[in-house]
Amino acid sequence: MLHKSFHNSAGAALLPAHGIGASATKPAISIAGLRVAFGDVPVLHGVDLAVNKGEALGIVGESGCGKSVTWRAVLGLLPKSAEIGGEARIGDLDLVGARQSVLDRVRGGRIAMIFQDPASALNPVHRIGAQITEALRLHRGLSGAAARAEACRLLDQVGIAAAASRLNAYPHELSGGQNQRVMIAIALAGRPELLIADEPTTALDATVQAQILLLLKDIQRDTGMALVMISHDLAAVAAVCDRACVMYAGQIVETAPKHTLLTAPEHPYTRDLIGAIPPSHGPRMRLTAIAGAPPQRNLSPGCAYAPRCRHAIAVCRTSRPEPRQVAARHSVRCLRLDAGTYQ
Amino acid sequence: MTLLRLNNITRRFPLGSPLYGPRKYLVAVDGVSLDVEMGRTTGIVGESGCGKSTTGRIALGLEPPDSGGVLFQGLPLPRIDSKKWRAQRRQMQLVFQDTLAALDRRMTVSALIAEPLAIHGIGDPASRKQRVAELLHGVGLGEGHGMLYPHQLSGGQRQRVVLARALAPKPSLLVCDEPVSALDLSVQAQIVNLLMDLQQELGLGLLFISHDLRVVRHVSDRIVVMYLGRVVEQGRADAIIDQPAHPYTQALVSAMPRLPGGFDHYVALPGEPPSPTDRPCGCPFHPRCPLARDVCRQSLPELLPLGPERQVACHLVRH
């Protein structure tokens, strides 16, 4: 079921202009200097990030690091009390501060988002068929039999068996994994260029989690859309994404291709985070325990990780590191790295 | 030496009202046997609804089994609320996932840790104060934390308080039900390390219940894999993870993303764990099993030995 090919005739139409060659010139979305503050508490301290077309990018971090806030800010989903600065460009359009009418066309259309808890994201009193056709009507102008046929195809694409009969089901009649598949179908309804998956499998059982992760990867590959996967689980991100960013206290501290990030991380936080994951095989080594907890608010003048970092020196507490390119596509925000001394 | 032994325990819960038609039952735990050795860790792993938490509650005597028995240090558990039971409870303690629910938010950390000492009548007020300070230090908290209330602590610190409270009466068995699932990765590693250090120091037997196979492998000497209330496989932790014999264990292990590599050896498993109210007949795993045959649909496989230290419940495994 998982590994069936999604290359059907309608699927061909689903391909946005993709191709990795073109991606180098124009990213699907580029975020620059994104800042968010709630009242006088800053939660994002300038996030710079570009997601290339057709790329699967992972955003990893612990709770409160700003990984979800970044994308909610981009899509205008934060409460009014949030002060947002910087820019998030999709094509020629800047989404930060854009009008509601503009955002309404982008959300669910060019950019779709799925969340951790599908049961609360779906409307419990509407059949899932109606919820998918609603998205088709809003974003593709389909109605009647055409919408129903397309909804059926989408359910089939996300691997729900007997799709035609399932259109009449209510969310409570489906399991958690199936509801997440329905959410993905709704997200795909608008033929997005970018799908943002915010902890898409955290609430699911292990075997179902693997199903959904592989489904996301297959769909991303087959449709050529860009995928951003937000997760606290580095292993899950590594299984799906080509590239990953590690966030800490409202900043991206390291960005690298997946393999580099896992095998040759440079930032002390990334190293500690990988060391904290119990290995799945091989000898059992003592886990790296990072002292303390992630900061609730990051107001320090220096590096946010300095209070927990084993390699911190005096300068780390007083001045903020800027991102530094250590290799192609690999950037790190660490002052110790400039000295090249810590190991 | 065997500290805790569950002997073929079964627990079922009635569903709906007894007035209408024949009564239906949710079979949460069905014929589970397992051992926890002194100073060792037995891990129970499984997906939601597999009965792992109910098994933990039965092990502590918080839930009576419908059949089968629980032996603690070779003796059956006394009746709940009897005097003997309370004395026994000193020896067996519980650590939960939800620390805010486990700690009374109107009590300070010191009072919370001292409470079990008072309940079990251990020491006098002065020596209790001393013991609280020792315990705070033992779980990596400072004396300053003793004055705080649970909401003033982070999740990891609260889990340390829960641990200190559990360790206060010097138990020999600790049942940990998803103790690190709600914590951030970096904090989870702290608590896992602390738990393993304390175990070594105090010679605790641990029953470690979690859905997270990585963590269970890391802490456990033996692993018990449960599916729909039944043990499908148990044995030495490394053997279970490196050479799983049961098709469900194989799928569970393959569904754990590797670092790096991801799902390189993924065994696709259709569907989701069915509800324990509606158990399939025959082998409960057969509707999802890639290898299922007729015999699997008809008869329930028994848990039989495979090699010296392993047991597997599958018709297709050559015992």
What CATH number is given to the structural domain containing B247? 3.40.50.300
- Residue B192's pLDDT is what? 94
Greater confidence, B132 or A203? B132
Q: Determine, yes or no, domain membership for B83.
A: yes
Q: What is the CA radius of gyration of chain B?
A: 21
- Report which of A71, A108, A236, A233 is spatially closest to residue A183, judged by C-alpha positions: A108
Token pair recorded at residue A123:
């409307």
Pick B260's closest partner by Cβ from A238, A278, A308.
A238
- Residues B182 and B165 reside in one and the same domain: no
Domain limit, last residue, from B147, B170, B193: B170
Task: Write out the residue range of the structural domain in which residue B164 sits.
Answer: 102-170
Edge-to-edge strands, sheet with A41-51: A41-51, A29-38, A82-90, A93-94
- Say whether both B166 and B207 belong to one domain: no
- Residues B189, B165, single domain; the answer is no
Within a 10 A sphere around the Cβ of A138, how many other Cβ atoms?
16
pLDDT computed for residue A317 by the predictor: 92
Nearest-Å Rg of the Cα atoms of chain A is 21
**Is residue A265 packed enough to be buried (19+ CB in 10 Å), middle (13-18) or exposed (0-12)?**
buried
DSSP B203-254: T-EEEEEES-HHHHHHH-SEEEEEETTEEEEEEEHHHHHHS--SHHHHHHHH
Domain ranges of chain A: 1-27+54-69+99-241, 265-343
What pairing do the DSSP bridges indicate for beta strands A29-38 and A41-51? antiparallel
Residue A22 has pLDDT above 70, yes or no: no
User: Do B28 and B5 form a contact (C-beta atoms < 8 A)?
Assistant: no
Residue partners of B164: CB distance under 8 A and separation at least 6: B113, B135, B136, B138, B139, B141
Within a domain: B123: yes
Task: Kindly give, in sequence order, each residue whose CB lies less than 8 Å from that of residue B94, ignoring residues fewer than 6 positions away.
Answer: B56, B60, B62, B166, B174, B175, B176, B177
Average pLDDT, chain A: 88
Q: Do residues B52 and B186 share a domain?
A: yes
Domain endpoint, select from B137, B152, B170: B170
| pLDDT at residue A31 is higher than 60 | yes
State the pLDDT at residue A10.
39
Query: Does B294 lie in the same domain as B184?
Result: yes
Do B212 and B281 lie in one domain? The reply is yes
Question: Do the domain assignments include residue B32?
Answer: yes
Superfamily of structural domain A1-27+54-69+99-241: P-loop containing nucleotide triphosphate hydrolases (3.40.50.300)
Q: How confident is the model at residue A20 (pLDDT cuts 50, 70, 90)?
A: very low
Once rounded to an integer, what is the mean pLDDT over residues A280-286?
87
**B121 and B83 within one domain:** no
Q: What is the percentage of chain A residues whose pLDDT exceeds 70?
A: 91
Interchain pair A273, B186: CB under 8 A: yes
Q: Residue B8: inside a domain, yes or no? A: yes
Domain shared by B184 and B289, yes or no: yes
Extract the tokens encoding A227.
């995928």
* Domain finish residue from B170, B190, B218: B170
For residues A122-137, give the mean pLDDT: 96
A276: nearest CA partner in chain B? B189
Number of folded domains that form chain B: 2
* pLDDT beyond 70 at A133: yes
pLDDT higher than threshold 60 for residue A11: no
Domain assignment of residue B317, yes or no: no
Residues B177 and B227 in one domain: yes
Residues B19 and B43 in one domain: yes
Given a contact cutoff of 8 angstroms between Cβ atoms, the answer to whether B227 and B284 are in contact is yes
Tell me: do B300 and B278 sit in the same domain.
yes
Q: Which residues of B touch A291 (CB under 8 A)?
A: 190
Confidence of residue A25 (pLDDT cuts 50, 70, 90): low
User: Do strands A56-60 and A243-248 pair parallel, antiparallel, or not at all (unpaired)?
Assistant: parallel
Distance (Å) of CA A54 to CA A169, A174, A292, B162, B295: 33, 31, 38, 47, 47
Are B163 and B200 members of one domain? no
**Which of the residues B48, B50, B178, B185 would you substitute to probe the A interface, choosing the one with the greatest number of A C-beta atoms within 10 Å?**
B185
- Of A58, A189, A183, A64, give the one whose Cα is nearest residue A116: A183
3-state percent breakdown (helix, strand, coil) of chain B, nearest 5: 35, 25, 40
Q: Which two tokens stand for residue B40?
A: 């060792």
Contact A34, A86 (CB under 8 A): yes
Any CB–CB contact under 8 A between A119 and chain B? Answer: no
The answer to whether B228 faces chain A, any CB pair under 8 Å, is no
Residue at B253 is within a domain: yes
Q: Give yes or no for a contact between A46 and A35, defined as CB atoms under 8 angstroms apart.
A: yes
Residue B182 lies in a domain: yes
Phi, psi of A39 (to 5 degrees): 60, -130
Cβ <8 Å between A287 and B48:
no
Contact with chain A for residue B113, Cβ under 8 A:
no
3-state secondary structure of A325: strand
In a structure prediction context, what are the per-residue pLDDT tens digits for chain B, which is 319 residues long? 899 999 999 999 988 777 777 788 899 999 999 999 999 999 999 998 899 999 999 999 888 999 999 999 999 988 877 888 888 889 999 998 888 899 999 999 999 999 999 999 999 999 999 999 999 999 999 888 999 999 999 888 999 999 999 999 999 999 999 999 888 888 899 999 999 999 999 999 999 999 999 999 999 999 999 999 999 999 999 999 999 999 999 999 999 998 887 888 888 888 888 888 888 899 999 999 999 999 999 999 999 999 889 999 999 998 7
Contact between A210 and B257 using a beta-carbon 8 Å cutoff: yes
Copy the structure tokens of residue B271: 């569907």
- Extract the tokens encoding B47: 């997906």
What's the rounded Cα separation, in Å, for the pair A303 and A300? 7
B258–A2 C-beta distance less than 8 A:
no
List A residues 171-200 in contact with B (Cβ-Cβ < 8 A).
175-178
Cβ neighbours of B199 in A, within 8 Å: none
Is B319 inside any structural domain?
no
